[in-house]
Structure 1
Amino acid sequence: MNQGWVYTDRITPATAGQSVLDFYTDRYRHSTRAEWRDRILSGKIRRNNVPLAPEDRLAVGQILAYHRPPWQEPTVPLGFEVLDEDGDLMAIAKPAGLPVLPAGNFLTHTLLHQLKRHYPENPPIPLHRLGRGTSGVMLLGRSPLARSVLSRQLRESTATAHDPQAPHPIRKTYRALVGASDLPDVFTLTTPIGKIGHPVLGYVYGASPTGLPAYSDGQVLHRTADSTLVEVTIRTGRPHQIRIHLAAAGFPLIGDPLYGVGGVPLAIQPGEDGKIPVPGDMGYHLHAYRLALPHPRTQEPLVIECIPPPALRSL
């Protein structure tokens, strides 16, 4: 069991005037209206540490606190291998199944919490994210210089992604497995990625003509009668970019429970356990294989690789 958590929300003009029950029911759809009512009536929703009633009306600027009691988190792999480190940065091999940040039912079973536990004096800070089901190289900042320089370079790489001739100091390359395909040996995917409605989370990211620009450069490493192993270097860092781009091209990752052909969520139907698919669900094959960057202090080129799992190794 973890120690529980307090989630806070500040009321904006858009939500002012709602009842407490309406606010939580509309904003957090992972729970039913009846479940939110029970939590409010049991004193778990408070303002200035005073329990609220379901019908209480909200005003701009008020801060609500949901006191979630301790819960048993799902079992995940908590260990990670350090691939490279110095006083400025650290690169680790994140295992598939380990979430990076707290969300949903994950609080202490996250990479962020494990880093704080292992390095209590000065925990390394993740500079980018990998999906829960994605394994491989992940970059962490240890010094203010590294965090500042590398965060800026990641932003600049995304801003200039439309120009393949522009400098892209940080290059992230992944391995992915899709079904049988007629993908060209070398390809570029440019489907915009934006928010799409979701009945539990409110929204997820997917292929959207009104989304933000996204660029992925790929090559086919190996083909079989029922699978295609690809290597993809991303010039932008949109959420779930490789899963969405390959699905939008007609070739979803094998085992992806969320994204189907077209790069949008599959027709959302509860599984056998009654749960609706979300981006953090497991089953797909995606691995951050290589990270190339100039060292933030010395500017010397640095290449970090993480051996892929067997399904993503080229023959």
Structure 2
Amino acid sequence: MSRFVRRGHQAQANAFVPLPIKDGVAPSYLWITETLAGGMLRFLAERFPDVSPESWAARLARGEVVDAQGRALAADSHVRQCMRIWYYRELEEPETPIPFEEKVLFQDEHLLVADKPHFLPTIPTGRFLHETLLVRLKRQYDLPHLTPIHRLDRETAGVVIFSHNPATRGKYQSLFQKRAIRKVYEALAAPIAGRAFPFTYRSRMVDGEKFFVMKEEAGEPNSETLVELIEQRGQVARYRLHPHTGRKHQLRLHMASLGAPILNDAFYPVALPCKGDDFSAPLQLLARAIAFDDPLTGEPREFASERALDWP
């Protein structure tokens, strides 16, 4: 069993956060579930083997690793059971700038709606920290409580809704939990033969052998997509996709299973080698629009992307 549990990058809305936002990055924290010998520096170096001990020593010296009360921890500070420590996530290697810009479509006292470009992650993950939609927006608009209430894959462009008011966040999040959100995507792919449009595709999706992909198996369907054909030009068709469920990679897997994988999909039907920082072939999938009835006012709302796919 793990000695500790990592709980993410932000505390609950009403929790005390002992470190401020730093250049758009919220502090992360760990709960420690076992008392350990050797001191804080040793613990951090063992917990994060990809981060050098010298880097942790420097952060401790700068006072950027603290306990739940905001007291700076030292290299030899005790590591105690039930302790929570706060720190900033940093990258050992410089980030590659992502040369595409987001656009804010709407902002009020509760929500911010952004139009995300291809290749830009929604939140910090892996080798991405500052070059993410969340950190860019926090830095640009000075919104410390900004949180996405849903996410898009790094490869997918389009509409993303953020909450920046903790008092009303739960009401908007509940719309997604209740499936009261109407989402529309567009995709470019090969023509689908033998189908009368529109049609609904259902399947049972489960985790694949590789952690980053999904697969289908026999059994009760747990995913559903309505597929419409918008137009066709030669061997490329443009589709409108309505996901009625929200499984990871649902649209990408469904289109591949229909024999029409989305153009430039590096995961489906076969996971290809990582392209690194190659931005030349964006996945032709766009979160075109999101619509819902506002839980505060009851008024209908709809937000649409201003982006376009690479239609020939």
User: In the superposition, relative to structure 1, how do residues 301 and 195 fare at CA in structure 2: closer, same or farther (>3 Å)?
Assistant: same
* CA deviation after TM superposition for structure 1 residue 192, in Å: 2.2
For residue 197 of structure 1, give the secondary structure of its aligned residue in structure 2. coil
User: In the superposition, relative to structure 1, how do residues 62 and 270 fare at CA in structure 2: closer, same or farther (>3 Å)?
Assistant: farther
Please list every run of 5 or more consecutive structure 1 residues that lacks an aligned counterpart in the other structure.
Answer: 14-23, 29-35, 52-59, 158-168, 261-265
1:190 aligns with one of 202, 206, 216: 202
Percent identity between the aligned chains? 25
Separation (CA, whole Å) in 2 of partners of 1:145 and 1:68: 30
CA RMSD in angstroms comes to 4.0
Q: After the TM superposition, which of the residue ranges 176-185 and 132-141 deviates more from structure 2?
A: 176-185
2:193 is the alignment partner of 1:171: no
Separation (CA, whole Å) in 2 of partners of 1:178 and 1:78: 23
* CA deviation after TM superposition for structure 1 residue 240, in Å: 1.5
Counterpart mapping for 1:224-263 below 5 A: 224-260=233-269
User: In the superposition, relative to structure 1, how do residues 4 and 150 fare at CA in structure 2: closer, same or farther (>3 Å)?
Assistant: closer
Contact 1:186 1:220 in 2 (8 A): yes
User: In the superposition, relative to structure 1, how do residues 4 and 112 fare at CA in structure 2: closer, same or farther (>3 Å)?
Assistant: closer
1:149 aligns with one of 171, 178, 184: 171
| Residue equivalent to 2:301 | 302
CA offset digits 1:252-308 (Å, max 9, x no partner)? 111111111xxxxx1x5646x7x7xxxx99632000111111123111011211234
Q: Which one-letter code corresponds to 1:89 in the other structure?
A: L
1:217 aligns with one of 226, 234, 258: 226
Contact 1:175 1:288 in 2 (8 A): yes
Contact 1:100 1:132 in 2 (8 A): yes
Separation (CA, whole Å) in 1 of partners of 2:89 and 2:296: 43
Contact 1:194 1:208 in 2 (8 A): yes
For residue 161 of structure 2, give the secondary structure of its aligned residue in structure 1. strand
Separation (CA, whole Å) in 2 of partners of 1:84 and 1:197: 40
2:134 is the alignment partner of 1:112: yes
Contact 2:187 2:286 in 1 (8 A): yes
For residue 159 of structure 2, give the secondary structure of its aligned residue in structure 1. strand
Please list every run of 5 or more consecutive structure 2 residues that lacks an aligned counterpart in the other structure.
Answer: 1-22, 35-44, 61-72
| Residue equivalent to 1:57 | none
CA offset digits 1:180-234 (Å, max 9, x no partner)? 3214321112122221122xxxx12312327981111120111233111100111
| Residue equivalent to 1:94 | 116
Q: Which one-letter code corresponds to 1:257 in the other structure?
A: A
For residue 183 of structure 2, give the secondary structure of its aligned residue in structure 1. strand
For residue 176 of structure 2, give the secondary structure of its aligned residue in structure 1. helix
2:160 is the alignment partner of 1:138: yes
Q: Which one-letter code corresponds to 1:208 in the other structure?
A: E
Separation (CA, whole Å) in 2 of partners of 1:97 and 1:86: 27
User: In the superposition, relative to structure 1, how do residues 41 and 130 fare at CA in structure 2: closer, same or farther (>3 Å)?
Assistant: closer
* CA deviation after TM superposition for structure 1 residue 4, in Å: 11
Q: How many residues are matched?
A: 260
* CA deviation after TM superposition for structure 1 residue 7, in Å: 8.1
Under a length normalisation based on structure 2, what TM-score does the superposition of the two structures give? Answer: 0.68
Q: Which one-letter code corresponds to 2:209 in the other structure?
A: G
For residue 204 of structure 1, give the secondary structure of its aligned residue in structure 2. coil
Separation (CA, whole Å) in 2 of partners of 1:100 and 1:3: 13
Separation (CA, whole Å) in 2 of partners of 1:110 and 1:239: 19
Contact 1:220 1:228 in 2 (8 A): yes
User: In the superposition, relative to structure 1, how do residues 297 and 247 fare at CA in structure 2: closer, same or farther (>3 Å)?
Assistant: same
Separation (CA, whole Å) in 2 of partners of 1:41 and 1:143: 38
| Residue equivalent to 1:181 | 192
Q: Which one-letter code corresponds to 2:268 in the other structure?
A: Y
